[in-house]
Amino acid sequence: MTLGLFCSTSILNNSKFYSNIIQKDMILKPKKRPCGICRRWFTPNNRLKERQKTCGDPKCQKKWHKKSCAKWNKKNRHEVKTNYLQKKIDGLLNSEQNRLQNHMNDELPLEKIIKVFKPQHIVIIINIIRYYMQIE
């Protein structure tokens, strides 16, 4: 019996060694599961494992992304509304500055209104009107 043969037979007889190999093999191979959108069975990517929710179809991925964004937006509704209003205000300020620079001599009714009200107030008034129109 050589040293190499002795080591290999002692490893083969060790049941802990086999159980570790079997457990590692089970961990490396993710189980098949149905796609969260189309319900077709797929094998997840080894790197993503349990985090992968859809098959590789881009349509399913896009639908899942849309679904998860809607869920997040519903959960964080207050944050979404404040960010939405702030983006509207910032966009209006930037567009008004550009418009005034491009059309210095034009007197549009909107510009007359802006001279009376600030753009932030206009955005807030428009959103209040939309809100009350939805309630009725």
Domain positions in the chain: 76-135
Q: Which two tokens stand for residue 123?
A: 């955005």
Contacts of residue 30, Cβ cutoff 8 Å, sequence gap at least 6: 43, 44, 45, 46, 49, 50
pLDDT value at residue 100: 57
- Averaged pLDDT score across all residues of the chain: 75
Is pLDDT above 80 for 99? no
Q: Which two tokens stand for residue 126?
A: 């428009």
pLDDT value at residue 98: 66
Residue 94 CA to residue 89 CA, distance in Å, equals 9
